[in-house]
Structure 1
Amino acid sequence: MLAGAALLSLAGMDSVVAQQRDAEQPIEVAADRLELDDQAGTAVYTGDVDIRQGSMQLTGDRVEFQRNEAGELSRATAYGERAYIEQQPDPEQPVVRGWGRKIIYHVAERRVELIDRAELHQGGDTFEGGYLEYFLDRRVVQARAQSEGVEGSQRIRMTLQPER
Protein backbone atom coordinates (compact mmCIF):
# COMPACT_ATOMS: atom_id res chain seq x y z
CA MET A 1 0.00 0.00 0.00
CA LEU A 2 2.88 2.37 0.79
CA ALA A 3 4.45 1.56 -2.59
CA GLY A 4 1.16 2.49 -4.31
CA ALA A 5 0.99 5.77 -2.40
CA ALA A 6 4.59 6.52 -3.39
CA LEU A 7 3.79 5.87 -7.06
CA LEU A 8 0.79 8.20 -6.88
CA SER A 9 3.01 10.87 -5.34
CA LEU A 10 5.56 10.45 -8.11
CA ALA A 11 2.86 10.62 -10.77
CA GLY A 12 1.72 13.92 -9.24
CA MET A 13 5.31 15.15 -9.28
CA ASP A 14 5.48 14.71 -13.08
CA SER A 15 2.65 17.24 -13.42
CA VAL A 16 4.41 19.66 -11.09
CA VAL A 17 7.68 19.27 -13.00
CA ALA A 18 5.91 19.78 -16.35
CA GLN A 19 4.17 22.87 -14.96
CA GLN A 20 7.46 24.27 -13.63
CA ARG A 21 9.19 23.57 -16.96
CA ASP A 22 6.51 25.51 -18.81
CA ALA A 23 6.50 28.33 -16.25
CA GLU A 24 10.28 28.71 -16.59
CA GLN A 25 10.08 29.11 -20.37
CA PRO A 26 9.76 32.53 -22.01
CA ILE A 27 6.33 33.59 -23.26
CA GLU A 28 6.46 34.13 -27.02
CA VAL A 29 3.68 36.18 -28.62
CA ALA A 30 2.87 36.87 -32.26
CA ALA A 31 -0.01 39.27 -32.99
CA ASP A 32 -0.97 42.19 -35.22
CA ARG A 33 -1.50 44.64 -32.36
CA LEU A 34 -0.71 45.07 -28.65
CA GLU A 35 -2.24 47.37 -26.03
CA LEU A 36 -0.19 47.19 -22.81
CA ASP A 37 -1.17 48.87 -19.52
CA ASP A 38 1.56 48.22 -16.94
CA GLN A 39 -0.30 50.00 -14.14
CA ALA A 40 -3.46 47.94 -14.65
CA GLY A 41 -1.44 44.78 -15.24
CA THR A 42 -3.12 44.03 -18.56
CA ALA A 43 -2.03 43.27 -22.09
CA VAL A 44 -4.45 42.89 -25.00
CA TYR A 45 -3.23 41.25 -28.19
CA THR A 46 -5.37 41.28 -31.35
CA GLY A 47 -5.12 39.89 -34.86
CA ASP A 48 -4.29 36.21 -35.36
CA VAL A 49 -2.73 35.89 -31.90
CA ASP A 50 -0.40 32.95 -31.24
CA ILE A 51 1.07 32.60 -27.74
CA ARG A 52 3.49 29.86 -26.71
CA GLN A 53 5.20 28.98 -23.45
CA GLY A 54 6.86 25.60 -23.13
CA SER A 55 4.30 22.94 -24.08
CA MET A 56 1.40 25.42 -23.94
CA GLN A 57 -0.08 27.17 -26.95
CA LEU A 58 -3.00 29.63 -26.90
CA THR A 59 -4.47 31.16 -30.06
CA GLY A 60 -7.37 33.45 -30.88
CA ASP A 61 -8.47 36.61 -32.64
CA ARG A 62 -7.97 38.44 -29.34
CA VAL A 63 -6.10 37.39 -26.18
CA GLU A 64 -6.09 39.31 -22.91
CA PHE A 65 -3.49 38.81 -20.17
CA GLN A 66 -4.13 39.80 -16.56
CA ARG A 67 -1.27 39.99 -14.06
CA ASN A 68 -1.58 39.77 -10.25
CA GLU A 69 -0.08 42.24 -7.76
CA ALA A 70 3.24 40.33 -7.84
CA GLY A 71 3.40 40.92 -11.61
CA GLU A 72 2.82 37.25 -12.47
CA LEU A 73 0.44 36.14 -15.19
CA SER A 74 -2.79 35.16 -13.42
CA ARG A 75 -5.26 34.73 -16.27
CA ALA A 76 -5.23 34.55 -20.05
CA THR A 77 -8.49 34.88 -21.98
CA ALA A 78 -8.71 34.08 -25.69
CA TYR A 79 -11.61 35.00 -27.97
CA GLY A 80 -12.36 33.88 -31.50
CA GLU A 81 -14.59 31.78 -33.69
CA ARG A 82 -12.32 28.84 -32.75
CA ALA A 83 -9.95 29.98 -30.01
CA TYR A 84 -7.53 27.15 -29.18
CA ILE A 85 -5.43 25.94 -26.27
CA GLU A 86 -3.10 23.00 -25.93
CA GLN A 87 -0.72 21.78 -23.25
CA GLN A 88 1.00 18.60 -22.22
CA PRO A 89 0.45 18.71 -18.44
CA ASP A 90 2.48 15.56 -17.85
CA PRO A 91 5.26 14.10 -20.05
CA GLU A 92 3.69 10.62 -19.75
CA GLN A 93 0.21 11.77 -20.79
CA PRO A 94 -1.21 12.87 -24.16
CA VAL A 95 -1.47 16.51 -25.11
CA VAL A 96 -4.72 18.20 -24.03
CA ARG A 97 -6.36 20.26 -26.80
CA GLY A 98 -9.35 22.55 -26.40
CA TRP A 99 -11.47 24.88 -28.53
CA GLY A 100 -14.21 27.39 -27.83
CA ARG A 101 -15.37 30.86 -28.71
CA LYS A 102 -13.90 31.95 -25.39
CA ILE A 103 -11.13 30.23 -23.44
CA ILE A 104 -10.07 31.30 -19.95
CA TYR A 105 -6.87 29.85 -18.51
CA HIS A 106 -6.52 30.38 -14.75
CA VAL A 107 -2.77 30.02 -14.27
CA ALA A 108 -2.47 29.43 -10.51
CA GLU A 109 -5.35 26.92 -10.48
CA ARG A 110 -4.21 25.26 -13.73
CA ARG A 111 -7.85 25.35 -14.76
CA VAL A 112 -9.22 25.96 -18.26
CA GLU A 113 -12.74 27.13 -19.10
CA LEU A 114 -13.93 26.48 -22.67
CA ILE A 115 -17.06 28.50 -23.42
CA ASP A 116 -19.53 28.28 -26.33
CA ARG A 117 -19.08 25.45 -28.85
CA ALA A 118 -16.54 24.00 -26.47
CA GLU A 119 -14.52 20.93 -27.34
CA LEU A 120 -11.81 19.10 -25.39
CA HIS A 121 -9.57 16.23 -26.54
CA GLN A 122 -7.15 14.19 -24.47
CA GLY A 123 -5.79 11.14 -26.23
CA GLY A 124 -8.80 9.44 -27.83
CA ASP A 125 -11.28 10.87 -25.31
CA THR A 126 -13.41 13.82 -26.46
CA PHE A 127 -15.91 16.12 -24.75
CA GLU A 128 -18.20 18.68 -26.40
CA GLY A 129 -20.81 21.10 -25.08
CA GLY A 130 -21.69 24.67 -24.30
CA TYR A 131 -19.29 24.93 -21.35
CA LEU A 132 -16.39 22.69 -20.36
CA GLU A 133 -14.10 23.17 -17.40
CA TYR A 134 -10.87 21.17 -17.21
CA PHE A 135 -8.45 20.89 -14.30
CA LEU A 136 -5.08 20.06 -15.87
CA ASP A 137 -3.41 18.45 -12.85
CA ARG A 138 -6.37 16.42 -11.62
CA ARG A 139 -7.63 15.58 -15.12
CA VAL A 140 -11.17 16.44 -14.10
CA VAL A 141 -13.78 17.59 -16.64
CA GLN A 142 -17.01 19.36 -15.74
CA ALA A 143 -19.52 20.10 -18.51
CA ARG A 144 -22.81 21.95 -18.96
CA ALA A 145 -25.13 22.42 -21.92
CA GLN A 146 -25.95 25.99 -20.86
CA SER A 147 -23.91 28.68 -19.16
CA GLU A 148 -23.25 32.40 -19.27
CA GLY A 149 -21.77 33.29 -22.66
CA VAL A 150 -23.20 30.20 -24.40
CA GLU A 151 -25.59 30.74 -27.29
CA GLY A 152 -28.65 28.56 -26.70
CA SER A 153 -28.26 25.06 -25.33
CA GLN A 154 -25.41 22.90 -26.59
CA ARG A 155 -25.89 19.34 -25.47
CA ILE A 156 -22.99 17.53 -23.78
CA ARG A 157 -21.41 14.77 -25.84
CA MET A 158 -18.45 12.61 -24.93
CA THR A 159 -16.50 9.71 -26.32
CA LEU A 160 -14.30 7.69 -23.99
CA GLN A 161 -11.87 5.14 -25.33
CA PRO A 162 -11.62 1.82 -23.46
CA GLU A 163 -8.48 1.41 -21.37
CA ARG A 164 -5.99 -1.10 -22.67
Structure 2
Amino acid sequence: MSLANKPIRKITVALAALWFAGSAAAFNLDSDIPITVNADNARLDDGQGIATYTGDVIMTQGETELTADRVVLYRDENGLQRIEATGQPAHYQQPAREGEGKTDARALNITYSAPESRLTFEKEAVIEQGDNLFRGDIIHYDSVERVVTAEGSAKDSGGSGRVEIVIQPRSGQNRQDSNGSSQGQ
Protein backbone atom coordinates (compact mmCIF):
# COMPACT_ATOMS: atom_id res chain seq x y z
CA MET A 1 0.00 0.00 0.00
CA SER A 2 1.35 3.43 -0.86
CA LEU A 3 1.87 6.09 1.78
CA ALA A 4 -0.81 8.20 0.10
CA ASN A 5 -3.49 5.57 0.86
CA LYS A 6 -2.65 5.25 4.60
CA PRO A 7 -4.34 8.53 5.69
CA ILE A 8 -7.52 7.53 3.79
CA ARG A 9 -7.55 4.12 5.50
CA LYS A 10 -7.16 5.72 8.95
CA ILE A 11 -10.00 8.17 8.26
CA THR A 12 -12.25 5.33 7.06
CA VAL A 13 -11.55 3.32 10.23
CA ALA A 14 -12.15 6.40 12.41
CA LEU A 15 -15.48 7.10 10.67
CA ALA A 16 -16.48 3.46 11.03
CA ALA A 17 -15.79 3.57 14.75
CA LEU A 18 -17.99 6.66 15.09
CA TRP A 19 -20.72 5.00 12.99
CA PHE A 20 -21.06 2.16 15.49
CA ALA A 21 -20.21 4.05 18.68
CA GLY A 22 -23.28 6.26 18.30
CA SER A 23 -25.71 3.38 18.61
CA ALA A 24 -24.33 1.01 21.22
CA ALA A 25 -21.12 -0.46 22.47
CA ALA A 26 -20.24 -3.87 21.04
CA PHE A 27 -20.03 -5.76 24.29
CA ASN A 28 -22.32 -3.74 26.58
CA LEU A 29 -25.34 -2.14 24.97
CA ASP A 30 -26.02 0.00 28.04
CA SER A 31 -22.52 1.48 28.12
CA ASP A 32 -21.61 5.01 27.04
CA ILE A 33 -18.09 3.82 26.21
CA PRO A 34 -17.58 3.87 22.42
CA ILE A 35 -16.15 1.09 20.29
CA THR A 36 -12.68 1.68 18.91
CA VAL A 37 -11.71 -0.26 15.79
CA ASN A 38 -8.25 -0.51 14.27
CA ALA A 39 -7.63 -2.51 11.09
CA ASP A 40 -5.59 -2.54 7.92
CA ASN A 41 -8.72 -2.06 5.78
CA ALA A 42 -12.35 -1.07 6.29
CA ARG A 43 -15.44 -1.07 4.07
CA LEU A 44 -18.68 0.61 5.15
CA ASP A 45 -22.01 -0.03 3.46
CA ASP A 46 -24.29 2.42 5.26
CA GLY A 47 -27.32 1.40 3.16
CA GLN A 48 -26.99 -2.25 4.22
CA GLY A 49 -25.76 -1.45 7.74
CA ILE A 50 -22.61 -3.54 7.30
CA ALA A 51 -19.02 -2.65 8.16
CA THR A 52 -16.22 -5.05 7.24
CA TYR A 53 -12.75 -4.78 8.72
CA THR A 54 -9.79 -6.89 7.57
CA GLY A 55 -6.15 -7.25 8.49
CA ASP A 56 -5.07 -7.37 12.14
CA VAL A 57 -8.41 -6.10 13.45
CA ILE A 58 -8.52 -4.88 17.04
CA MET A 59 -11.90 -3.86 18.45
CA THR A 60 -12.12 -2.52 22.00
CA GLN A 61 -14.69 -1.11 24.38
CA GLY A 62 -13.09 -0.16 27.67
CA GLU A 63 -11.07 -3.23 28.69
CA THR A 64 -13.06 -5.65 26.50
CA GLU A 65 -11.16 -6.58 23.35
CA LEU A 66 -11.78 -8.64 20.22
CA THR A 67 -8.91 -9.36 17.82
CA ALA A 68 -9.25 -11.19 14.50
CA ASP A 69 -8.17 -11.36 10.88
CA ARG A 70 -11.66 -10.24 9.73
CA VAL A 71 -14.57 -8.65 11.59
CA VAL A 72 -18.02 -7.87 10.14
CA LEU A 73 -20.48 -5.67 12.05
CA TYR A 74 -24.21 -5.64 11.32
CA ARG A 75 -26.35 -2.67 12.34
CA ASP A 76 -30.03 -1.82 11.91
CA GLU A 77 -32.31 0.99 13.12
CA ASN A 78 -32.03 -0.41 16.67
CA GLY A 79 -28.23 -0.26 16.66
CA LEU A 80 -25.53 -2.89 16.58
CA GLN A 81 -27.02 -6.37 16.20
CA ARG A 82 -24.21 -8.78 15.41
CA ILE A 83 -20.44 -9.11 15.19
CA GLU A 84 -18.78 -11.94 13.25
CA ALA A 85 -15.03 -12.46 13.67
CA THR A 86 -12.71 -14.97 12.05
CA GLY A 87 -9.04 -15.62 12.72
CA GLN A 88 -6.28 -18.14 13.27
CA PRO A 89 -7.64 -17.91 15.96
CA ALA A 90 -9.87 -14.91 16.71
CA HIS A 91 -9.45 -13.82 20.34
CA TYR A 92 -11.86 -12.28 22.89
CA GLN A 93 -10.94 -10.84 26.31
CA GLN A 94 -13.26 -9.51 29.01
CA PRO A 95 -11.94 -8.04 32.29
CA ALA A 96 -12.44 -9.71 35.67
CA ARG A 97 -15.42 -8.69 37.78
CA GLU A 98 -16.85 -9.47 41.21
CA GLY A 99 -14.19 -11.96 42.28
CA GLU A 100 -14.19 -13.84 38.96
CA GLY A 101 -11.11 -14.13 36.80
CA LYS A 102 -10.57 -12.38 33.50
CA THR A 103 -12.21 -14.13 30.54
CA ASP A 104 -9.77 -15.08 27.79
CA ALA A 105 -11.32 -16.93 24.83
CA ARG A 106 -10.32 -17.98 21.33
CA ALA A 107 -11.76 -19.84 18.34
CA LEU A 108 -11.54 -19.81 14.56
CA ASN A 109 -15.02 -18.17 14.44
CA ILE A 110 -16.53 -15.88 17.07
CA THR A 111 -20.05 -14.48 16.75
CA TYR A 112 -21.55 -11.90 19.11
CA SER A 113 -25.33 -11.43 19.21
CA ALA A 114 -25.88 -8.02 20.77
CA PRO A 115 -29.59 -8.43 21.69
CA GLU A 116 -28.77 -11.65 23.59
CA SER A 117 -25.33 -10.51 24.88
CA ARG A 118 -24.20 -13.94 23.70
CA LEU A 119 -20.89 -14.99 22.22
CA THR A 120 -20.56 -18.19 20.23
CA PHE A 121 -17.11 -19.68 19.70
CA GLU A 122 -16.81 -22.28 16.94
CA LYS A 123 -13.96 -24.57 15.86
CA GLU A 124 -11.05 -25.10 18.23
CA ALA A 125 -12.90 -23.10 20.91
CA VAL A 126 -11.30 -22.46 24.30
CA ILE A 127 -12.49 -20.21 27.14
CA GLU A 128 -10.31 -19.60 30.19
CA GLN A 129 -11.81 -17.74 33.13
CA GLY A 130 -9.31 -17.44 35.94
CA ASP A 131 -8.00 -20.99 36.38
CA ASN A 132 -11.17 -22.55 34.90
CA LEU A 133 -11.07 -23.96 31.37
CA PHE A 134 -13.79 -24.79 28.83
CA ARG A 135 -12.83 -26.48 25.56
CA GLY A 136 -15.09 -27.79 22.79
CA ASP A 137 -16.06 -27.51 19.17
CA ILE A 138 -18.82 -25.00 19.94
CA ILE A 139 -19.02 -22.92 23.11
CA HIS A 140 -21.81 -20.46 23.89
CA TYR A 141 -21.01 -17.73 26.41
CA ASP A 142 -23.59 -15.37 27.99
CA SER A 143 -21.39 -12.34 28.64
CA VAL A 144 -23.83 -10.78 31.15
CA GLU A 145 -24.61 -13.82 33.28
CA ARG A 146 -21.22 -15.42 32.49
CA VAL A 147 -22.80 -18.78 31.73
CA VAL A 148 -20.89 -21.20 29.49
CA THR A 149 -22.31 -24.18 27.55
CA ALA A 150 -20.10 -26.36 25.38
CA GLU A 151 -20.60 -29.00 22.67
CA GLY A 152 -18.05 -31.55 21.47
CA SER A 153 -17.25 -32.05 17.82
CA ALA A 154 -18.86 -34.86 15.87
CA LYS A 155 -16.83 -38.07 16.01
CA ASP A 156 -17.13 -38.48 12.23
CA SER A 157 -15.37 -35.12 11.75
CA GLY A 158 -12.27 -36.39 13.52
CA GLY A 159 -13.11 -34.96 16.94
CA SER A 160 -13.55 -36.87 20.17
CA GLY A 161 -17.20 -35.85 20.44
CA ARG A 162 -16.50 -34.58 23.95
CA VAL A 163 -15.88 -31.33 25.76
CA GLU A 164 -13.23 -30.62 28.37
CA ILE A 165 -14.04 -28.54 31.43
CA VAL A 166 -11.66 -27.84 34.32
CA ILE A 167 -13.26 -26.07 37.28
CA GLN A 168 -11.04 -25.09 40.18
CA PRO A 169 -12.31 -25.40 43.77
CA ARG A 170 -13.39 -22.16 45.39
CA SER A 171 -11.03 -20.97 48.09
CA GLY A 172 -12.39 -20.99 51.62
CA GLN A 173 -14.59 -24.05 51.02
CA ASN A 174 -13.97 -27.51 52.40
CA ARG A 175 -12.05 -29.81 50.10
CA GLN A 176 -11.60 -33.55 50.33
CA ASP A 177 -8.08 -34.81 50.87
CA SER A 178 -6.89 -37.77 48.80
CA ASN A 179 -7.87 -40.08 51.69
CA GLY A 180 -11.49 -38.80 51.60
CA SER A 181 -11.33 -36.64 54.75
CA SER A 182 -12.52 -33.03 54.60
CA GLN A 183 -10.31 -30.14 55.44
CA GLY A 184 -10.75 -26.39 55.28
CA GLN A 185 -8.53 -24.36 53.05
SS of structure 2 residue aligned to 1:108: coil
TM-score (norm 1): 0.79
Query: Given that residues 114 and 133 in structure 1 are in contact (C-alpha distance below 8 angstroms), is that contact kept between their aligned partners in structure 2?
Result: yes
Note if 1:67 corresponds to 2:82.
no
Alignment counterpart, residue 79 of structure 1, candidates 78, 83, 86: 86
Q: Rg larger in 1 or in 2?
A: 2
Deviation at 1:89, TM superposition (A): 6.9
User: Which one has more relative contact order, counting CA pairs under 8 Å at least 6 apart?
Assistant: 1
- Displacement of 1:88: 2.8
The partner residue of 1:122 within 126, 129, 143 is: 129
Q: How many residues align?
A: 142
Letter in 1 for 2:63: S
Which stretch of the first structure deviates more once superposed, 114-123 or 130-139? Answer: 130-139
Consecutive unaligned residues of structure 1, counting only runs of 5 or more, are 1-17
1:153 corresponds to 2:164: no
**CA–CA distance in structure 1, aligned partners of residues 98 and 170 of structure 2:** 19
CA shift for structure 1 position 77: 0.9
1:1-164 map, 5 Å: 19=28, 23-70=31-78, 72-88=79-95, 90=97, 92-146=99-153, 152-153=158-159, 155-164=162-171
| 1:98 positional shift | 0.9
Pairwise CA distance, 1:94: 2.2
Query: Could you tell me the percent identity over the aligned residues?
Result: 34
What's the Cα RMSD here? Answer: 2.0
Residues 118 and 128, structure 1, Cα contact 8 Å, conserved in 2: yes
Cα gap change, 1:73 to 1:91, in 2 (>3 Å): farther
Deviation readout 1:43-72 (Å, 9 max, x if unpaired): 0000010011112101100000011223x1
Tell me if structure 2 keeps the 8 A contact 1:133–1:143: yes
**Displacement of 1:92 after TM fit?**
4.3
Q: Which amino acid aligns with 1:132?
A: I
Q: C-alpha offsets along residues 23-46 of structure 1, whole Å, 9 cap, x if unaligned? A: 311211111111110011000000
Q: After TM superposition, give the deviation of residue 97 of structure 1 in Å.
A: 1.4
TM-score by length of 2: 0.70
- Indicate if the aligned counterparts of 2:29 and 2:114 stay in contact, CA closer than 8 A: no
Q: Distance in 1 between matches of 2:120 and 2:92?
A: 10
